Amino acid sequence: YNRLGLFDPNSLSQDFLAKLLNLTFSANFINLDSVHSNFPAIDLGDKESKTAYQITSQNDSGKIYSTINKFIEKIDRNEYEKLNFIILNDLNWSPTQISNIKAKFTENNLPFDKSTIISIDGFETHLKHIDSQKRTAIINLLQQELNRSKVDETLNYDGVNFKSEIHLKWAKFFN
């Protein structure tokens, strides 16, 4: 069980993250496993922006390298030009690791910027700059989706009940 509580060992919460990305970036991400079971290399895709995401709890650079290799080998670059990652754990890479990862993207003609690889905590940067309408929609999504967890503990933040600390952590992004 991932310490963030966002997924069960057998199933990442890709549908939830697709909804969150769509609300945050006004995008059209879909869970690619709904198109093809165990879709290769990527989990979410938005054909309009030609952007794909790999969702993983593995925060080692080897996972990044292997996903890039699979992406280059198996994904039609006319459909998806940009590969991003959401890491469901902390990112604590050294400057050398980051430089090597950036080089791997560059050598494969993939764009790389500060939002190419983000952790859940890294989402805070994006969420702090959204308008109030999106903020309300995301809070509603959080209440709807995250409160479905099987956790018994209830925490209150700003008048809203959340079922675990990770849910509370998401809510605090908005304050």
CA atoms within 13 A on the CB side of 67: 26
Element (H, E) at 81: none
Spatial neighbors of 40 by CB under 8 A, at least 6 apart, are 70, 74, 75
pTM: 0.80
Which amino acid is residue 14, in one-letter code? Q
Task: Give pLDDT tens digits for 126-168.
Answer: 888 889 899 889 888 887 876 665 444 555 545 555 444 455 5
1 confidence band (pLDDT: 50, 70, 90): very low
Residue 27 and residue 19 in contact, taking contact as beta carbons nearer than 8 Å: no
- How do 30-31 and 117-119 pair as beta strands? unpaired
Spatial neighbors of 92 by CB under 8 A, at least 6 apart, are 59
